[in-house]
Amino acid sequence: MNWDDMRVFLAVARAEGLTAAAPVLKMDPATLGRRVARLETAIGAALFVKSPQGYALTDLGVQMRDRAAEAEVAFSLAVDAGQGAATLLGQIRIGAPDGAANFLLPQVCADIQRANPNLEVQILALPRVVNLSRREADMAITVSPPAAGRLTVQKVTDYQLHLATRRDASPVRSLADIKGRAVVGYIPDMIFDKELDYLGDMGQAGVQLASNSVAVQMQMLRRSGIGIVHDFALPSVPELTRVLTDDVALLRSFYLVRHTSDRQSERLSRFATALMAGLKTQVATLEVAAALTDAHVI
């Protein structure tokens, strides 16, 4: 048995299936199935209960997953030690809600990667909380600090949200003017964090144009309607303008979440430091640009 076998096993265990694990390992599901079968034959026992719903760990599989995860951390620390003070290497995956993933992380990660040419950065944009316990990502940006798990949480920065609509739409002078317009927002039963529930702040009971994606909501607003948007997203959508900024002004925060054990990794810690600094700068820069645009200064 070698470490590559453990890498395959861990990926399948975390993804709970071959198809979901395949892109992570850059292998096809059939190959993964053969690798798992070969590992189980070598051990002489089943590690998974296979079904059409996926691969569930047996009791032995759970024990092996925990030991393999510990070995993975140790291996990562050894690699870090070998890198020393050199530029960052290898692959780092960040999970994030799609507002941050679409409008902030591309520029921030591009800047970090440019300074570290041998680094591969992956952005995992999901309309839900990223599961770090299953190693879906090395770290995650969240809008609420998690309340449980062996996790380390650092506040990154605050960000602002306001109502926005098309610049050429009829004037919005009060909340009463929202009546008769299509409200754009999240699909109510798919809001995965209470901090994303904006309807109460708008004084609205429901939405007429909805998506679980911030990027899709922005595209909806480009065509019609009114909705809450991130100020940092507005510079990329010049058709929109903020309205009722004194009546509806929301403040939320981004947090960086990591496994407690990963704090021992110099590589991940250096990346996290650069990521947090870049996000703070990007949010501040884009929010200023949004405010200046609305003031017709630029």
DSSP 34-69: HHHHHHHHHHTS--EEEETTEEEE-HHHHHHHHHHH
Mean pLDDT of the 3-23 span: 85
Domains 3-69 and 90-156+253-287 share a fold: no
Mean pLDDT of the 41-63 span: 88
Is 187's pLDDT higher than 50? yes
φ and ψ at residue 146, rounded to 5 degrees: -65, 150
Quick check: pTM over 0.95?
no
Q: Please give the sequence-ordered ranges of beta strands (E in DSSP) within the chain, or none if there are none.
A: 48-51, 54-57, 90-96, 119-125, 139-142, 151-166, 183-185, 209-210, 226-230, 240-243, 249-259
pLDDT of residue 286: 94
pLDDT of residue 86: 62
pLDDT range class, residue 42, cuts 50, 70, 90: confident
Pick the more confident residue, 144 or 264: 144
Cα dist from 247 to 98, 135, 196, 201, 256, whole Å: 26, 41, 18, 9, 30
Q: For residue range 83-124, list pLDDT tens digits in order.
A: 555 678 888 999 999 999 999 999 999 999 999 999 999 999
Q: For residue range 223-265, list pLDDT tens digits in order.
A: 999 999 999 999 999 999 999 999 999 999 999 999 887 777 8
- Considering the chain, what percentage of its residues have pLDDT values greater than 70? 92
pLDDT of residue 193: 87
CB 102 within 8 A of CB 147: no
Domain residue extents for the chain? 3-69, 90-156+253-287, 158-252
pLDDT of residue 298: 41
pLDDT of residue 264: 76
pLDDT of residue 83: 53
Q: What CATH fold (topology level) applies to the domain 3-69?
A: Arc Repressor Mutant, subunit A (1.10.10)
pLDDT of residue 294: 72
Measured CA to CA, the distance from residue 247 to residue 141 in angstroms comes to 28
Calculate the CA 234 to chain-centre distance. Answer: 20
Is 164's pLDDT higher than 90? yes
Q: What kind of architecture, by CATH, is found in domain 158-252?
A: 3-Layer(aba) Sandwich (3.40)
Q: Does domain 90-156+253-287 have CATH number 3.10.450.50?
A: no
pLDDT of residue 8: 86
pLDDT range class, residue 215, cuts 50, 70, 90: very high
Is 207's pLDDT higher than 70? yes
pLDDT of residue 297: 40
Is 78's pLDDT higher than 60? no
